[in-house]
Every structure is written in C-alpha cells, then in structure tokens.
Structure 1
Amino acid sequence: MNTMRKQSGFTLIELMIVIAIIAILMAIAVPAYQDYSIRTKVSEAVSVTGGAKLAVAETYQSLGRFATAQASYGWDFAASDYVASSTIAPSTGVITVTTQNTGASTDPVLTFTPETGAGRIDWDCAATAGEDKHIPAECR
C-alpha cells in the first residue's frame, strides 16, 4: 500500500508576504513612537511650569503688578532629566522653559506668557524652538 501524505504549512511566498507586511507596519510605527516619546519628555516642561505659574500669579495678585526681579517671585528651579532651565522674566512674568535630552534634533524651548485681565491670569504657550510634532498640543 502506498499512502501519500499531503504536506501542510506555509509556502515561501506566503511567508515573504507576511514579513513584507510586518516591515511596512514597523516603518510606520517606529517613527510615530519616537515622536510620541519625545513629546512625552517635552511635556515635563509643561508640568514644571506649574510652580512658576503659581509664583507669578501670587506675586501679581499681591503686588498688583509683576515683580521687577526673578528672585522676588520666591520660586527657584532645579534641573531635571528633560528640563535644563526655567526662568521668569522680570517685569513681564514670562516663563521660558528649555528642554534637554529629549531625543529631538533641536530640543524645544517653550514660552508661557501671562495675559492679565478681569482679575485673573490666563497663560499663552508658544514654542520658540523645536519641531511642531515634538511640541505638546497646548503649545502648538
């Protein structure tokens, strides 16, 4: 008796098609993930400004104007892994945050400008350096 066995499995062409599809997906996914990772690191700059914004707002409410020296705001910044510096401009209250080690070709610099009116302070955020895809949504 001669019994034939039918072989089952994937052909070489089918395997090559699957590998090509995976390669295409990776070519799209890896850069998107890298941009997301950089944007996450840059968003630390936004959270760092929370204390500085509070210091500016309290000083403005107390004095009725912005302080004439950064030291007058009573706020000091210590560098972190992704934020190199954060300064408050005298007389304007503008907060400038410089990022570092984010993985971006140009580390973003964010500027938070206070807008006063009706007894409150609103903050406008703008990026002065860095690519738009690396900037958090509130600063684009």
Structure 2
Amino acid sequence: MKKQLQKGFTLIELMIVVAIIGILAAVALPAYQTYTAKSKFSEVVLGTSGVKIAMETCGQVENSLASCATDNAVTAAVAGAAGGAFVATVGVTGSTITGTAVTTDGLNGETYTLAGVMSNGQVVWTEGGSCQAAGYC
C-alpha cells in the first residue's frame, strides 16, 4: 500500500499564521495612527512659519516684539496662515504665536505655541502647546 503525501496546510498551521498577523496588526496600528496624526499636525507647525518670519522681521526692525502683533506684515501673515486642511486657526497675542489644529481626522484641537523673546538683537523662540503632551511636535 502506498502512503499518501500531505498536500496543503493543516488547520493548526493556518490558525497560527492568523494569530501572528493579528498580533502584528495590534502592535502596528496604534503606531501608524500616531504617525499619521503627527504628519497632519505638521501642517499646523508649517502654518505658523510665515507668521514667525514676519514677527522676526518686525522684531529686528523695531528691536522689540511689543508692537509686532499689530504690525501690518504680521497681520497679513496671520490672515493667510490658516489655509491648511488641518489648521483651525493661527493667531498672535503679544509675542506668542499660537496655531490650533482642527478637531477631526484624528486631531483633537491640539495647539502649537511659539513664545518669542528678543536676545542680543535676535528673536529666540520657545516651543510649547498641547501638541507636546500628544507627541505631535
């Protein structure tokens, strides 16, 4: 009598493969979601860059940031800054620039702030906001 050779996979082998794929997906999915949220939030950081340049220019011309929030170049930069799909608002209060994300697409309205201080004729920026706790900036 001739012994029949096994063809294909057994049920146990298939179950092991499915379990391994499930474990890999459970680990990879949260990391991927954080990665996509970071990439969306980078649009908020980019939205503040034009305002930052206008504030730096004003600060160097005036040698102070005190009146820069109402400077024409700064207000024009603020008006054009919130054009991104994930940017809710960009604003200036005193010498602090604040960008806020939308509350959709995995973002929860996190903020990105840049606090400017004049030091030896240059503007020194300090980053802050709720994006740091979320790990987006």
TM-score range, shorter chain: 0.7 to 0.9
Q: CA deviation digits over 1:9-28, x for unaligned, max 9?
A: 22111110110010011011
Unaligned runs of 5+ in 1: none
For 1:19-34, what aligned pairs fall within 5 Å after superposition? 19-34=18-33
For residue 83 of structure 2, the aligned residue among 50, 58, 79 is 79
Quote the residue 1:96 is aligned against.
98
For 1:1-140, what aligned pairs fall within 5 Å after superposition? 2-68=1-67, 70-74=69-73, 75=77, 76-77=79-80, 78-89=82-93, 92-100=94-102, 101-104=104-107, 106-127=108-129, 129=130, 132-136=133-137
Q: CA deviation digits over 1:61-81, x for unaligned, max 9?
A: 111212536341412334321
Structure with greater helix percent: 2
Root mean square deviation, CA, Å: 2.0
Q: 1:93–1:117: structure 2 CA closer, same or farther, 3 Å change rule?
A: same
- Give the length in aligned residue pairs: 131
Percentage of pairs with the same residue = 33
Moved more, 63-72 or 30-39: 63-72
SS in 1 for 2:84: coil
SS in 1 for 2:71: helix
Code of the residue aligned with 1:132 in structure 2: it is A
User: Structure 1 residue 111: deviation in Å?
Assistant: 0.9
Length-normalised TM-score, structure 1:
0.82
Partners of 1:117 and 1:70 lie apart in 2 by 18
Q: 1:67–1:79: structure 2 CA closer, same or farther, 3 Å change rule?
A: farther
SS in 2 for 1:135: coil
